[in-house]
Amino acid sequence: MEFILLLTIKQPGSDDKVIDVAPGISIIEALTQASLMLDSPCGGKGRCGKCLIKASGKLSEPQASELAHLADHPGYRLACLAKIEGNCAVELTGQSVFSSLKGLGWTAPYSLDPALKLFPIGPRDRLDQRSLLNTLELNSCTVDSLETLSAIEAKGGGGWLLTCHDRLLKVWPQEKDDKEKAHKDQEHKEQEHKDQAHKRQAPMENLAAAFDLGTTGLALAVIDMETKKTIAFETSLNPQTAIGGDVISRITYAAESQENIKTLQNLALKGLRELLESALGERSRFVSAALISGNTTMLHLLAGLNPKSLALAPYRPIFTKSLDISHLGEKIGLPKWACFSTTPSISAYVGGDITSGLVAVKLAERKGTVIFIDIGTNGEIVLSRNGKLVATSCAAGPALEGMNITCGLRAITGAVDSFKIGPNLEPNFTTIGQAPAIGICGSGLIDICAELIKSGVINKTGRMSAPKSHPQALTDNRYHLTDKVFLDQKDVRQVQLAKGAIAAAMKMLLERFDLTLSDLDEIVIAGAFGFHLRPESLKGIALIPKGYEGPVSFVGNSSLAGVVRLLLDRSATKEIETISNQIEVIELGFDPKFQDAFLASLGF
């Protein structure tokens, strides 16, 4: 019999939670089992220090790698390294609560013709010899559906069909009329008839789920396919972050064993299920279609496939077409008849999140020369020249999402999300939730760097130094927003590496087609925090190269917005297939000029 220990979890504003844990597991593993997520961008190696947590009780002795992070934090441990050896307790703070910037991304106007349809079986022409499936142009169905359909046909019709594209999902026979209603009082008869007719109008709600499986976060939009409106929106941290904060760390983990691949798949499925339950509760049983976008690595892991080939030259994915994963539907809370599939990808590092984003903004339909940039750990860039699309990607790293930054964190309550410098170089900033500042997220980081460059605290090479007119601007070569929240020289270098990669990739993409910045008609910026960026800040850090004077549009989470469009506009399915088949991909990693372009783009 396995010995079980108790872990007490304390959260401000909530009752203490006590869970059973097995001895020898880390604190972060125990919290993940309890559906509580802590950031671990380094993949649990004890390098980043982001999972620092207040802990007491019988825990393993801290090793040298952990002690380096504990000097200024008595009573704290790294959750990824501290092993549970006896009953113990941890205290969660606001830093442990994941909160994404909510809202669907912007979508170009489109026609409404839903892929998921629920409709009655009407009377048939007596002379029509075609099967009902042929009449409705349906190509696939289950034996159970055919049996129900044959019974309905034998009785002369009367029932309901649920279809998704050319696939018959489910059939319901018509419910019998309640004849007792005919004897109700005359003054209520008409209204009651209408009420009962409405209740019998369909056997169930007709809902669809749009998912975005991000490396960092998960997002869900639930659509009522009858009203064609979004009725629920939820976000959460991707549980896989407990394994690592970027795709490379997860690929490395997955490559070690089939068991590890299963672990990552189950974490993703668990996160999606909890997201759906949070949004709909028991109504999740009415979701008959789900579509999910994500980068190529995330979709491979969701399908339970080894992604090792994505990290080895020539970087071949196992699949790029839209993948039917309906067999996983019940694991995220969908009914057994529901269809569940992925958006198509393009290459190892230009994934289904990008194809979905391109569908959202209709980049292929835009006239002129437009660049689409998805800012994230893996910066993807797509150039459109009158609808002809060329894509590339670069390893930007997680700095612009608040990671690898001394006081950096993701978009959680208390994160500095915007910044302006005062006349005496004093900080003026806002935080998510208007809470006390606990760190800096991506949009705040870009603002801070841009303002410090403009004020002369950061020079063109990225070096920090206080201007002679304001020697108090820096303390120990740090720019402080509060006593505990600051920006230092290492952080600036991380920003340079990230923005340098994106700027270099953009320049090389233009040069490949003999274009200059003056040829650009528009730059479109996508990403979960895109709405909260300022064009002047992106230009201030030279992520958008100097010399570009055209418009900059922010479209937010275009990946999720594109999935919503794909569910509501059947024509978008053909559009995304055309994009994934015809777009040209340029691998900058094979171009010897990229390193020179990257070095030239590091400066401000």
Q: Which residues of 121-147 are buried (b: 16+ CB within 10 A; e: fewer)?
A: beeeeeeeeeebbeebebeebeeebee
Above 80 in pLDDT, residue 528? no
**Banded model confidence at residue 335, pLDDT cuts 50, 70, 90:** very high
Q: Give dist(CA 400, CA 418) in Å, integer.
A: 13
Strand partners, 211: 220, 292
Task: Write the CB contacts of 126 (distance below 8 Å, at least 6 apart in sequence).
Answer: none
Terminal alpha carbon distance of the chain: 62
Average pLDDT over residues 447-465: 96
> Which of 410, 294, 380, 436 lies closest to 48 in space, CA to CA?
410
pLDDT for 587: 86
pLDDT for 176: 53
pLDDT for 96: 44
Average pLDDT over residues 533-559: 89
pLDDT for 179: 33
Continuous segment of H or E residues that includes residue 560: helix 558-568
Above 80 in pLDDT, residue 128? no
Yes or no: say if 482 and 440 are a contact pair by the CB < 8 Å rule: no
pLDDT for 186: 38
pLDDT for 124: 64
**Banded model confidence at residue 284, pLDDT cuts 50, 70, 90:** very high
Q: Give dist(CA 338, CA 26) in Å, integer.
A: 37
Q: How many other β-carbons are positioned within 10 Å of the β-carbon of residue 299? A: 29
Average pLDDT over residues 522-527: 90
Stated length of the chain:
604
3-state DSSP percent of the chain in helix, strand and coil, to 5: 35, 25, 40
Above 60 in pLDDT, residue 194? no
Cis peptide upstream of residue 335 (ω within 30 degrees of 0) = no
Tens digits of per-residue pLDDT, 17-29?
888 888 888 888 7
pLDDT for 219: 92
**Banded model confidence at residue 300, pLDDT cuts 50, 70, 90:** very high
pLDDT for 196: 42
Tens digits of per-residue pLDDT, 392-413?
998 887 788 777 899 998 777 8
Yes or no: say if 353 and 294 are a contact pair by the CB < 8 Å rule: yes
Instruction: Using DSSP, state whether 536 is helix, strand or coil.
Output: helix
pLDDT for 401: 78
pLDDT for 141: 79
- Higher-confidence residue of 73 and 267: namely 267
Average pLDDT over residues 477-497: 96
Q: Give me 522's structure tokens.
A: 């528009």
Average pLDDT over residues 71-93: 87
Check residue 317 and report its DSSP letter.
-
> Which of 28, 41, 39 lies closest to 404 in space, CA to CA?
41
Average pLDDT over residues 265-289: 94
Task: Write the CB contacts of 347 (distance below 8 Å, at least 6 apart in sequence).
Answer: 296, 315, 317, 320, 391, 393, 585, 587
**Banded model confidence at residue 101, pLDDT cuts 50, 70, 90:** very low
Check residue 564 and report its DSSP letter.
H
Above 70 in pLDDT, residue 41? no
Q: Give me 159's structure tokens.
A: 């029932």
pLDDT for 543: 93
From residue 231, give the alpha-carbon distance in Å to each of 116, 220, 235, 283, 388. 16, 11, 14, 12, 35
Average pLDDT over residues 64-71: 86
pTM given for the model: 0.79
pLDDT for 397: 77
pLDDT for 68: 84
Q: Give dist(CA 503, CA 499) in Å, integer.
A: 6
Q: Give the domains, in start order, of the chain with CATH numbers.
A: 5-96 (3.10.20.30), 116-175+191-199 (no CATH), 207-342 (3.30.420.480), 354-398+495-600 (3.30.420.40), 400-489 (no CATH)
Q: Give dist(CA 5, CA 56) in Å, integer.
A: 14
pLDDT for 157: 67
Strand order from edge to edge, sheet including 229-237 = 229-237, 217-224, 207-213, 287-294, 339-342
**Banded model confidence at residue 304, pLDDT cuts 50, 70, 90:** very high
Tens digits of per-residue pLDDT, 209-243?
999 998 888 999 999 998 898 999 998 888 998 88
**Banded model confidence at residue 198, pLDDT cuts 50, 70, 90:** very low
Average pLDDT over residues 361-366: 92
Q: How many other β-carbons are positioned within 10 Å of the β-carbon of residue 352? A: 30
Yes or no: say if 294 and 213 are a contact pair by the CB < 8 Å rule: yes
Q: What is the DSSP string of 435-500?
A: PPP-EE-HHHHHHHHHHHHHHTSB-TTS-B---TT-GGG-BTTBEESSSS-EE-HHHHHHHHHHHH
Strand partners, 5: 21
Question: Judging by beta carbons within 10 Å of its beta carbon (0-12, 13-18, 19+), is residue 283 exposed, middle or buried?
Answer: middle
Tens digits of per-residue pLDDT, 565-604?
999 999 999 999 999 999 999 988 778 889 899 999 999 9
Average pLDDT over residues 70-81: 87
